[in-house]
Structure 1
Amino acid sequence: MSTVLAQKLWCTLWSAGSLGRFAQHMSNAAHQVSCIGSEEQRVYEEPHVIFQNWLMAAQKEAPQVRPRLACMATVDKSGEPVTRLTSIEEVNSHGITFFTTLGSRQAGEISANPHVSLHFNWAPLMRSVRIAGSAHQLTEEQVRDQFRRFPRHVQMSITHGPRYAAAEWQSRSGFFARIGQRLNTWLGKQPEEIPMPHNWGGYILTPSLYEFGMLSGEKAGRTRVRFRRCLEMPRGTRVGHVQAERQDWVYDSCDEN
């Protein structure tokens, strides 16, 4: 089972573009597993790295679907699920960061119940990712650092609203405005810094589950590979079709018709 599962992960998650070659790779499982080097071994064991690579592929091959935009699910005070679209920023081994107004309904629901789920759907690539975990507020320093990295028009939109930002952008794009900007640059005059709103904040989602889904064609089934965080299970423990190659993640795979 371990050979088949490792080969599935290698073929389905790292196939360069064509999921249709999945069956061909399956017939050569032993050879594929023997060719997995230390870097690839680390990659398929770390779900956040798989997600980073899928995200980069989606941004390159299907930018029109806005790959960083996810459907976020939270839970309100009555226990009902609430969904909205949220744009994510950084993805690393610690989690996934996103930003919002601290006085918003979204922020209030996260403060009351930190359990959050993100769902990414990249239809042109026939791929989807579901990530679930707990969200915790970032420090003011972390939020300010990210705010400074946003483009100026995004800062304007956060501070004054999208209409003001659009009007300001339009005024700066005129002929005389561009001349003035070049003069300021030549004189060494920096544009005025936009202050960050006092109620602007951010969260980091610490995942406890990654679920990768992929289709191999209109009439073919869906393959799902699921990673679950399990700190108690020692390295190498296997129960049924669940495999734990790392101490903190276990994974399984299934095919749906």
Structure 2
Amino acid sequence: MTDIKIADLRKQYKKGGLVDHELPENPVELFRKWFEEAVESEVIEPNAMALATVTGAETPNVRMVLMKGLTDHSISFYTNYESQKAKDLNAYPVAACTIWWAELERQVRISGKVEKLTAAESDDYFRSRPRESQIGAWASNQSRPVANRKELEDNFKEIEEKYDGEEIPRPEDWGGFKIIFETIEFWQGRPGRLHDRILYQQTAGKWNQQRIAP
């Protein structure tokens, strides 16, 4: 087996750039534009993001989740409210996330305070999910130990049979969170590692923009 020299792995970025005078005052406009371009470019899982939280022991915790909502003020995702991420967010209602679109050589970092979505918002999204995903929300006690794979499959089959021919209700311990925008940073790869980094920070309801060194 050939040894891989990790330190020698590198890529020359040259697909685009961020021009100062073309940047919008509101970063959400640019985020929407970049997200649409990621979808149009058929990026794999364009809404996938690494979500970082703080545990009760005040240590960092990160995992991949899917962004499922975008407004002018926040992004949202869904989870089991008994999961580790939900416990983290209940203890420390702040979060940061990173979205990486490798095909476009782009990254977006977002941070802010976190709030639960309303029950009505969670109900609406749950009803839009594929039936198998709805069953999975009931069958999996997320982040808790299971004896084996069969236990999960048996739970799934039990729920499937229970609601055969019926609408599946949203579990009370399943729903959404939203990250309210406080900072949004855009990263565009450039040649020679002189990447573009544009940081937007919100103060007193106003966005302040700053280019920072890569």
Checking the alignment, whether the CA contact within 8 Å between 1:71 and 1:118 is kept in structure 2 is: yes
Checking the alignment, whether the CA contact within 8 Å between 1:48 and 1:91 is kept in structure 2 is: no
Tell me how far apart the structure 1 counterparts of residues 153 and 73 of structure 2 sit (CA, whole Å): 35
Note closer, same or farther for the CA distance 1:126–1:18 as it changes in structure 2 (3 Å cut): closer
Question: How does the TM-score come out when normalised to structure 1?
Answer: 0.65
The amino acid that maps onto 2:72 is S
> Match for 1:45 among 25, 37, 45?
25
Partner of residue 76, structure 1: 55
> Match for 1:251 among 192, 209, 212?
209
Which structure is larger by alpha-carbon Rg, 1 or 2? 1
Structure 1 residue 45: Cα displacement: 1.5
1:202 maps onto 2:180 in alignment: no
Instruction: Tell me the matched-pair count.
Output: 185
> Match for 1:60 among 40, 64, 70?
40
The amino acid that maps onto 1:224 is R
The amino acid that maps onto 1:103 is E
Partner of residue 96, structure 1: 75
Tell me how far apart the structure 1 counterparts of residues 195 and 157 of structure 2 sit (CA, whole Å): 46
Structure of higher RCO (CA pairs closer than 8 Å, 6+ residues apart): 2
Question: SS at 2:67's partner residue?
Answer: strand
RMSD (Å), alpha carbons: 2.7
Question: SS at 1:211's partner residue?
Answer: strand
> Match for 2:98 among 102, 119, 123?
119
Aligned-residue sequence identity (percent) comes to 27
Checking the alignment, whether the CA contact within 8 Å between 1:69 and 1:88 is kept in structure 2 is: yes
Question: SS at 2:68's partner residue?
Answer: strand
Offset from partner CA, 1:31-86 (integer Å, 9 cap, x none):
xx6xx7xxxx8xx122122111111111221432x111111110112211111111
Tell me how far apart the structure 2 counterparts of residues 85 and 67 of structure 1 sit (CA, whole Å): 12
> Match for 1:227 among 200, 205, 212?
200
The amino acid that maps onto 2:174 is W
The amino acid that maps onto 2:107 is S
The amino acid that maps onto 1:221 is L
Tell me how far apart the structure 1 counterparts of residues 212 and 111 of structure 2 sit (CA, whole Å): 19
Question: How does the TM-score come out when normalised to structure 2?
Answer: 0.77
Tell me how far apart the structure 1 counterparts of residues 82 and 137 of structure 2 sit (CA, whole Å): 13
Mapping for residues 135-154 of structure 1, pairs under 5 Å: 135-154=114-133
Structure 2 residue ranges without an equivalent (≥5): 1-13, 141-151, 159-164
